[in-house]
Structure 1
Amino acid sequence: MNLPAAAPRTVVRTVLIIVAVAISLYVIYLLRQPLKWLFIAAFLAMALSGPVNLLSRKMKRGFAITIVYLLLLTLPFLLAALFVPPLVTEANNLAGNLPGYAQQLTDFVNSNSTLASIESNFDVTERIEQAASTLPSRLESGAAVLSGIGLGLVNSVVALLTILVLCAFMLGGGRRWVDGALALAPPERAERLDRVLDRIGNAVGNYVGGALIVALIAGLLSFIVLLILGVPFAGPLAVIVGLFALIPLVGATIAALIVGVFTLFHDFPTATIVWAAWAIVYQQFENHVIQPQIQRRAVDVPPFVVLVAVIFGSTLFGLLGAIIAIPAAASIRIALREFYVLRTTEAELPATAAGAEQPDGGSDSAADEEARDSGAD
C-alpha cells in the first residue's frame, strides 16, 4: 500500500509540533518563578493603575507612581509598629505572672477535695509549676525561632523587589505597552482585544476597590464591638479582621476565631459569647448585603467558580493567589465570553454571505434566459 506523497511531511510536521510544545512546556516550567512574579506584578499594576491615573492628572506620572509606592511600602511598617510592641509587652507580662497563676491554681486544687485526690494521683499542679518556671527560657528559644523566620522573610525581599520593579515599569508605560502590542494585530482584532483588556482592567480595579471597602467596614465595626466589650488590643485586632477580610471565603472566619481566642482572657464567657454572636451575624450581613452591593458591578462570577478559583489560586500562589483568584477568574470569564462571541460572529458571516449571494445568482440566471430568448427571436 503506497502512502500519499504528503503523508511523510504531515508526520514530520506533527512530530515537530509535539516537540515544540514539549520544549515550550519545559521552558515554562523552568521559568515558573519569574512567570509567577510577572503575573503578580501585572495584577498589582492593574490594581494600582486607578490611584496612579488619578494622581497623574495633577502631576507627572513618575511622581504619582512614587507617591503610591511610598504609601504601599509604609503599610508594613505601620502594622509592625501597631502589633509588635503590645504583643512583646503582654508576652513578657504573661511570662512573669504565670508562676503566680500556677500557684493560685495549686491553692484552688488543694482547697477542693475532689481535685485534691486527682492531684495526689497525677501530680498535675507540680507539672504546671515546672512548665511555668521554664516559660521565660522557652520564650528565648522562641525568639530564636522568630529570628529564623525573619531570615526567611529577608530572603523573600528579592522576589518582592523584582515584583515592585516590574509593576513600576508596567505603571510607567501606561497605555503605551498595550497600544504597542495591539498595533501588531489586525485592526478588527485589535479593537476587540482593546475592549477585552479595558473590561478586564475595570473588573480588577473595581474588585480591589470593593475589597478594600469591605475590609475597612469589617475592621471599623469590629473595632467598635471590641471597644464596647473592653477587649484589650482592640485596634490591632480590628486591623487583623480587616486584613483577613481580603481573603475570600475563609478570611472572615479565621479572623473571628483569632479574636475569639483573645476574648477568652477577658470577661469569659460573656465577651466570647457576644463576639461569637456578632461575628456570625456580621458575616451573614456581609455575605448577603455588603458584598453583593459593592462587588455586583465589579465581577460576575458564580459561587462554584469562586470556590474553584480560590482553591487553584491558593495552591499555585499561596495566600496571594487566594486573594487574586476572584478577579483572575472574572478576567478569564470575560476573555472566554468575548472569544465565544467572536467565534459565533465568524461562523454566522459565511452563512449570511451565502444567503446574500443567492438572489443575485437568481437574477443573473433570469437575465441569461432573457438574452437567449432575444437571440432566438
Structure 2
Amino acid sequence: MPAKVSAAKSRAALHISARVCAELLLVLVAVAVALWLLDRMWSVVWPLTLGLLLTTLTWPPTRFLRRRGWPPALAAGLVTVLFLLVAAGVVALIAVPVASQSGELTDGVVEGVQRLREWAAGPPLNIGDAEIDRAFDSGVDRAQDGLGSAVSALVSGVNTVVNGVITAVLALFLMFFFLKDGPRFLPWLSRQLPGRLATDIPTVAARGWSTLGSFVRSQAAVGLIDAVLIGIGLWILDVPLVLPLAVLTFVTAFVPIVGALFAGLVAVLIALVSNGLTDALIVLAIIVVVQQLEGNVFQPMIQSRGLGLHAAVILLAVALGGNMAGIVGSLLAVPVTALIAVVWGYVREQLAEPPAEPEDDGEPMPGAALPS
C-alpha cells in the first residue's frame, strides 16, 4: 500500500513555503522601492556613474604621475585637460575630413537617389515618375500633417542635447575630483561607518572599483577589434574616410547596440555615395559579420574573462538592461551585473563556514621533526 501523507509534515512544508514567499515578496518590494528612488535621483546618479567610468580610464596616468611625486590636484588637472584634448582631437578627426568632403558626399547622395529612382522605374518594379510624384506628394502631405509632432520632437531633441551637455560637464568635474581625492575616499568612509560596516563596505567598494576598471578596459578592447576589422574592410574596398569611420566605430562601441548601428549606417552611406551599391552591400555584410562576432564571441569572451562572468550571463544582462532602460540600460547592464556578482561573492565569503581544523591525535605529521 502507498505510504500515507503526514498531515504534520504537510503543514510544516506549507508554512515554510509561505514564509519563503513572504520574504521574497518583501525583497521584491525593497528592490522596487530602490529602483523608484534611483529613477527619482537619475539626474544625479547618471553623471556620477559616467564620472566613475571616465575615472577608470584616466586613473592609470594619474596614478603614474602621483607616484612620481606630482601633487594630487596638479596630476588630476593635467590628466583632465589631456582627456579633453584627446576627446576634442577624436571629434576633429571625424568631423574635419567629413566636412572637407561634404560637397562630394552631397553630390554622391543626389546621384545615388537618382540611380535608385532609375532602378525603380525599370523592371521588375516598373515604378513610373507619376507614381513617384504621387508618393512624394503623399509624403509631403503627411509631413505637413505631422508638423506639430515634428516640432515637439525637435524641442525634445534640443532638451536631450542640453541635458547631455550638462551631464557631460558634471561628469568631467566629478572625474577631476575623483582623480584628486579618490585614494582618500575609502579611509574616510571607514571612519564614518560603525562596526563591521567599516570593513565590509570599503572592501566591497574596492572590489567594485576594480571590476569597473576591468569593464572599461574590456569594452575598449572590443571597440578596438571592431574598429580594426571594419577599417581593414573599408580600406580594401577603397572607401573614403577610412580613419574617421574606424575612430567613430571605436568611440560608439561604448554605447551598445545603437552605437554600432549608427557607425554602420554612416559607413554604408559613405560607401554607397562614393563606391556604388555593390560596395555598399559588401560594407553592410562586413559590418553585420563583425557585429555578430562582437556580440556573440569577442564581447562575451573578453568581458567574461575580465569580469569573472559567464558569457551567457553577459548576453542575458545586456538583453534585460536594454528592455528595461533602453540604451543606458544596455550600457550599464554588464557593470551592474558584475557589481552584483562582487557583492554576492563577498556575502558568500562572509557566510561560508570556516574549514574544519584537523583533529590533533597526538601523533606527529609525516616528515615532522621529532623533539630531541
Q: Which category describes the TM-score, using the shorter chain as reference length? A: 0.5 to 0.7
Q: Distance in 2 between matches of 1:316 and 1:118?
A: 43
Q: Deviations over 1:172-203 (max 9, x none)?
A: 22222111212344675544444333322222
Unaligned segments of structure 2, at least 5 residues: 1-29, 140-149, 360-372
Q: Which runs of 4+ in 1 moved over 6 A?
A: 21-28, 97-110, 125-128, 145-148
Q: Pick from 292, 301, 309: which aligns with 1:301?
A: 309
Q: Structure 1 vs Structure 2: percent identity of aligned residues?
A: 25
Structure with the larger helix share: 1
Alignment partner, residue 370 of structure 1: none
Matched, 1:57 2:50: no
Matched, 1:33 2:25: no
Matched, 1:323 2:331: yes
Q: Distance in 2 between matches of 1:259 and 1:326?
A: 27
Q: Secondary structure at the match of 2:307?
A: coil
Alignment partner, residue 223 of structure 1: 231
Q: Pick from 69, 86, 93: which aligns with 2:80?
A: 69
Alignment partner, residue 211 of structure 1: 219
Alignment partner, residue 205 of structure 2: 197
Higher relative contact order (CA 8 A, sep 6+): 2
What is the CA-CA distance between 1:332 and the residue it aligns to? 1.2
Q: Pick from 236, 250, 258: which aligns with 2:244?
A: 236
Q: Distance in 2 between matches of 1:262 and 1:101?
A: 11
What is the CA-CA distance between 1:27 and the residue it aligns to? 7.0
Larger radius of gyration: 1
Contact 1:231 1:266 in 2 (8 A): yes
Q: Deviations over 1:11-52 (max 9, x none)?
A: xxxxxxxxxx99999876654422333333334334433332
What is the CA-CA distance between 1:273 and the residue it aligns to? 4.5
Unaligned segments of structure 1, at least 5 residues: 1-20, 132-141, 357-377
Contact 1:203 1:330 in 2 (8 A): yes
Alignment of 1:40-119 (within 5 A): 40-58=50-68, 59-88=70-99, 90-93=101-104, 119=128
Q: Deviations over 1:183-238 (max 9, x none)?
A: 34467554444433332222211221222122123213322221221112212221
Task: Give the TM-score normalised by the residue count of structure 2.
Answer: 0.65
What is the CA-CA distance between 1:61 and the residue it aligns to? 2.1
Q: Deviations over 1:268-308 (max 9, x none)?
A: 45423543443355445546764466434421223454345
Deviates more, 1:298-307 or 1:213-222: 298-307
Aligned-CA RMSD value: 4.8
Contact 2:252 2:259 in 1 (8 A): yes
Counterparts in 2 of 1:44 and 1:98: CA distance versus 1, 3 Å = closer
Counterparts in 2 of 1:339 and 1:107: CA distance versus 1, 3 Å = closer
Contact 1:200 1:334 in 2 (8 A): yes
What is the CA-CA distance between 1:160 and the residue it aligns to? 2.5
Q: Pick from 164, 171, 174: which aligns with 2:179?
A: 171
Contact 1:245 1:251 in 2 (8 A): yes
Q: Secondary structure at the match of 1:298?
A: helix
Q: Distance in 2 between matches of 1:76 and 1:308?
A: 32
Alignment partner, residue 264 of structure 1: 272
Task: Give the TM-score normalised by the residue count of structure 1.
Answer: 0.64
What is the CA-CA distance between 1:125 and the residue it aligns to? 7.3
What is the CA-CA distance between 1:65 and the residue it aligns to? 1.4
Contact 1:106 1:125 in 2 (8 A): no
